[in-house]
Amino acid sequence: MITGQAIFIGFFGMAAVWFGIVVFRTFSMVRSAIALLFSQTALGAMFLTMQAEFLGVLQIMMMATEMSIMAIFMVMFMMDPGGMGKMDMTHQKRLSLIAGFVAFVGAVAVAVFIDWGPVTETIADTAQQTEALGLELLGRSMLIFETAGVTILTAMIAATAVAIKPVPIKIKTKDEK
Amino acid sequence: MGVELIWSLITGAALFGVGIYGALSQTNLVMIMMGVELILAGALLNLVAFWRYLHPDVAAGQMFVLIVMTVMALEMAVGFGIAIARFRSKGSVEMEEAVELKK
Amino acid sequence: MTTLLVLLLLAIGVYLLAVLENWIANGRFQLTAPAYSAIALLGRESVIPRKPDLLFFEVGPVLLLIAALLAAAVIPLSPDLIIADLATGALFLNAALAYILVALIMAGWGPNGAYAMIGGWRFLGQLVAYAMLIVMPITAVAMRAESLVTTDIVFSQAGLWNIVYQPLGFALFFIAAMGLAFLPPFDLPTAKGELAGGVEAEYSGVRLAIFRLGRMVLIITLAGATATFYLGGWQGPLLPDWIWSAIKIMLVTAAMLMVGKYVPRIRETHLLAWCWKFGIPLALLNIFIVGILIVVIP
């Protein structure tokens, strides 16, 4: 049975995959980053279709900033960010294509052939969902959530420590006098 | 059988496959990170679909999604830290030019 | 029906904002000036620069307008006068406003011009400064209302407006909202003096009209958000509720424009340093104080 929900999931899903393919097919690096952004946004729209409103809105919000920052790093680090020179930036193409295709087919096979059991049609409304999520975060799963927070802090410190400009230390040797 | 679940899982598989292709075929560190982002996006979609269609009454499923989103942000932060350090010392973040890391 | 009514009110608000901006910036009160300049813009040629990223060039201004309109959809003018009363309204506002950045980056990259591109990337730096100061005060507001629904947030201020309850949060949100709407003194992406218009520089004609319209809608939306979160939304004596919303929104807009008139443009490095070194600790302090206040005086 094809429901309205299924149609929207199919539509946004195809949009997400198409934008995902565009990421690696365009020569312009900024376009590539923005395509990834719209792929993630389509994913957020899929979450909204699945009535996971909080997660969908969160996904749409987080990815906008994340991918914009990605875009500026692309412009900083690439030789040809505008894609005017049509540079080929790939290697081991055949191997990658095969690996990607095998991964896809394997995952699809798992998705199709496993019996997932009964599927729930109805779901609690968003306000209740959000409340339950909040109680979960600050109740049973608090330790995991705290761990995530500490991990973010660690990553922030680590990334800053790696990226910071090393201050040259002058050590006076004997023959420098 | 819920066709929505299957379609979501197939979309997730496609994103995963495209991500694998990108992560393996690109020569630039930032583009490889984009591939990894796509792989994680596929995982994210699967998690939401499992939560929605199989266990909608367990809020821990949503929390799992939040953790994966955190991982995506962390991957970006640490990856860009490494990219900046590499760019500062060598002037490029191309993978082909980083073979000396193997030796 | 409600949607059309809200959009009509929004259009009136945008027009009044244009009159107000002209009045404050140039000291001339002309009710017809925005209409004339709009007609002039629509009549002019819309120049396309050489070798543009045409997709970005076209999409940028439109995305700015769409993002601002989406953000406006969760601002309540009265309990019924709201386009979408979402269960995650306050979060949705943030999500829609995040696309302002994407629109400006696209509009900056698209035309293949140096000033426009610098303007676009500058706004990315500005985002790093203001983003936390938008989200954290909203967190404190949602804490008091115990809800992310924008109408519930207004109802929670029935006894005491949030501007009195959490003045620190109001000050931070007000400044961050000005940064988000790139109003002077935070008009780094479109700096008239140093970047010759920045992101706007390469746009002309119809596209410039859409860009300006989007920005006006954005300013009105942010003023609406300030009124909703801190000034008690539609609440007020005697007058009907939507008039109170309109009065508050216009007052906030006027305040934003007046501040910009008397303060010199800030440097990007200073903006980042102040926002991160003072703004974020203050925002955390605000959340802490509100947390205690909720326990002491519910």
Instruction: Quickly list DSSP for chain A.
Output: ---HHHHHHHHHHHHHHHHHHHHHH-S-HHHHHHHHHHHHHHHHHHHHHTT-HHHHHHHHHHHHHHHHHHHHHHHHH-S-TT-TT----B-SHHHHHHHHHHHHHHHHHHHHHS---PPP-----HHHHHHHHHHHHTTTTHHHHHHHHHHHHHHHHHHHHHHSPPPPP----GGG-
Q: Which residues on neighbouring strands pair with residue B94, listed in sequence order?
A: B28
Question: How far does the CA of residue B40 sit from the closest CA of chain A (Å)?
Answer: 10
Reported ipTM: the value is 0.87
- Tell me, what's the pLDDT at A1? 60
Greatest Cα-to-Cα distance within chain A, rounded to the nearest angstrom: 86
- Tell me, what's the pLDDT at C183? 84
Question: How far does the CA of residue B92 sit from the closest CA of chain A (Å)?
Answer: 7
Structure tokens at C40: 């002039």
Q: Name the residue facing A64 among C55, C102, C109 (closest C-beta).
A: C102
* Full pLDDT tens readout for chain C, 298 residues: 788 888 888 888 888 888 888 888 777 877 788 888 888 888 887 778 887 788 888 888 899 999 999 998 888 888 888 888 888 888 899 999 989 989 998 888 888 888 888 888 888 888 888 888 999 999 999 888 888 888 888 888 888 888 888 889 999 999 999 888 888 888 888 877 787 777 887 888 888 888 888 988 999 999 999 998 998 888 888 788 888 888 889 899 988 888 888 888 888 888 899 988 999 999 999 999 999 988 887 6
**Residue C97's closest chain A neighbor by CA?**
A61
Question: How far does the CA of residue A85 sit from the closest CA of chain B (Å)?
Answer: 16
Question: How far does the CA of residue B101 sit from the closest CA of chain A (Å)?
Answer: 17
Q: Into how many domains does chain A fold?
A: 1
Are A29 and B93 contacting, i.e. CB atoms less than 8 angstroms apart? no
| Residues in chain C closer than 8 A to A67 (CB atoms) | 102
Average pLDDT over residues B4-17: 89
| Residues in chain C closer than 8 A to A84 (CB atoms) | 51
The pLDDT mean for chain B works out to 86
Q: Into how many domains does chain C fold?
A: 1
Q: How far apart are CA C124 and CA C119, in angstroms?
A: 9
Taking CB atoms and an 8 Å cut-off, how many pairs form between chains A and B?
245
Q: Domain extents for chain B?
A: 3-101
The whole domain housing C143 covers 2-296
Taking CB atoms and an 8 Å cut-off, how many pairs form between chains A and C?
63
Residue A170 within any structural domain of the chain: no
Residue A153 within any structural domain of the chain: no
Q: Is the dihedral of CA A72, A77, A82, A86 positive or negative?
A: negative
Q: Which residues on neighbouring strands pair with residue B26, listed in sequence order?
A: A90
**Residue A113's closest chain B neighbor by CA?**
B6
Of the candidates B76, C176, C84, C127, the residue with the CA atom closest to the CA atom of residue A36: B76
Q: How far apart are CA A156 and CA A150, in angstroms?
A: 10
Are C98 and C128 contacting, i.e. CB atoms less than 8 angstroms apart? no
**Residue A23's closest chain B neighbor by CA?**
B34
Asked if A116 lies within 8 A of B3 by C-beta distance, the reply is no
| Residues in chain A closer than 8 A to C148 (CB atoms) | 130
DSSP string, C223-236: HHHHHHHHS-TT--
Q: How far apart are CA A48 and CA A45, in angstroms?
A: 5
In 10 A of CB C159, how many CB atoms? Answer: 9
Asked if residue B38 has pLDDT above 70, the reply is yes
Q: How far apart are CA C247 and CA A5, in angstroms?
A: 41
Q: Name the residue facing B59 among A40, A92, A133 (closest C-beta).
A: A133
Alpha helices in chain C (DSSP H): 2-26, 33-43, 54-72, 89-109, 114-145, 150-155, 162-165, 167-180, 192-195, 205-230, 241-262, 268-274, 280-296
CATH 1.25.40.10 is the classification of domain B3-101: no
- Tell me, what's the pLDDT at A177? 54
Are C128 and C144 contacting, i.e. CB atoms less than 8 angstroms apart? no
Structure tokens at A114: 């496993």
Asked if C53 lies within 8 A of A28 by C-beta distance, the reply is yes
Using the structure block, give the residue that is written with the tokens 């002019």.
C44
The whole domain housing A61 covers 1-77
Asked if C55 lies within 8 A of A31 by C-beta distance, the reply is yes
Average pLDDT over residues B50-61: 85
| Residues in chain A closer than 8 A to C85 (CB atoms) | none
Are B49 and B12 contacting, i.e. CB atoms less than 8 angstroms apart? yes
Are C46 and C198 contacting, i.e. CB atoms less than 8 angstroms apart? no
Query: What's the Cα-to-Cα distance from B46 to each of A102, B54, B86, C160, C260, rounded to whole Å?
Result: 18, 11, 34, 45, 48
* Full pLDDT tens readout for chain A, 177 residues: 677 888 888 899 999 999 998 888 888 888 888 899 999 999 999 998 888 888 899 999 888 888 888 888 888 887 777 777 777 777 788 888 888 899 889 988 888 888 887 887 777 788 888 888 888 888 888 898 888 889 989 998 988 888 887 777 777 777 665
Query: Cα C16 to the chain's mean position, in Å?
Result: 16
- What subunits make at least 3 CB pairs under 8 angstroms with C? A
Of the candidates A60, A118, A131, the residue with the CA atom closest to the CA atom of residue B59: A131
Asked if B81 lies within 8 A of A108 by C-beta distance, the reply is no
Q: How far apart are CA C214 and CA C107, in angstroms?
A: 12
Q: How far apart are CA A100 and CA A40, in angstroms?
A: 19
Of the candidates A114, A29, A33, A36, the residue with the CA atom closest to the CA atom of residue A80: A29
Using the structure block, give the residue that is written with the tokens 């809800």.
C147
In 10 A of CB C132, how many CB atoms? Answer: 18
Q: Name the residue facing A162 among B19, B72, B85 (closest C-beta).
A: B85
Would an 8 Å CB–CB cutoff place A101 in contact with chain B?
A: yes
- Tell me, what's the pLDDT at B97? 78
- Tell me, what's the pLDDT at A176? 60
Task: Give residues with Cβ within 8 angstroms of C177, minimum separation 6.
Answer: C134, C222, C223, C225, C226, C256
